[in-house]
Chain A
Amino acid sequence: AQSVTQPDIHITVSEGASLELRCNYSYGATPYLFWYVQSPGQGLQLLLKYFSGDTLVQGIKGFEAEFKRSQSSFNLRKPSVHWSDAAEYFCAVGAGASYGKLTFGQGTILTVHP
Chain B
Amino acid sequence: DTGVSQDPRHKITKRGQNVTFRCDPISEHNRLYWYRQTLGQGPEFLTYFQNEAQLEKSRLLSDRFSAERPKGSFSTLEIQRTEQGDSAMYLCASSLGHRDTMNTEAFFGQGTRLTVV
Taking CB atoms and an 8 Å cut-off, the chain A residues in 90-110 that contact chain B are 90, 92, 97-107
B45 engages A103 (CB within 8 Å): yes
**Chain A residues in 8 Å Cβ range of B99:** 97
B44 engages A36 (CB within 8 Å): no
B42 engages A100 (CB within 8 Å): no
A74 at the interface (CB under 8 A from B): no
Given A90-B43, A105-B42, A106-B41, A100 and B111 touching (CB < 8 A)? no
**Chain B residues in 8 Å Cβ range of A102:** 43, 45, 106
Q: How many residues of chain A are within 8 Å of chain B by beta carbon?
A: 23
B48 engages A101 (CB within 8 Å): yes
Tell me the smallest distance from the CB of B64 to a CB of chain A, in Å.
Answer: 22
B110 engages A42 (CB within 8 Å): yes
**Chain A residues in 8 Å Cβ range of B4:** 43
**Chain A residues in 8 Å Cβ range of B106:** 46, 99-100, 102
Q: How many residues of chain B are within 8 Å of chain A by beta carbon?
A: 27
A44 at the interface (CB under 8 A from B): yes
Task: Using CB atoms, name the residue of chain B closest to A32.
Answer: B105
Tell me the smallest distance from the CB of A5 to a CB of chain B, in Å.
Answer: 11
B72 at the interface (CB under 8 A from A): no
Per the bound structure, the CA–CA distance linking A102 and B4 in Å amounts to: 17
A44 engages B43 (CB within 8 Å): yes
| Extra inter-chain contacts (14) besides given A99-B95, A99-B103, A100-B94, CB under 8 Å | A4-B42, A43-B4, A43-B109, A46-B105, A46-B106, A90-B43, A99-B97, A99-B105, A100-B48, A100-B106, A101-B33, A104-B43, A105-B42, A107-B40
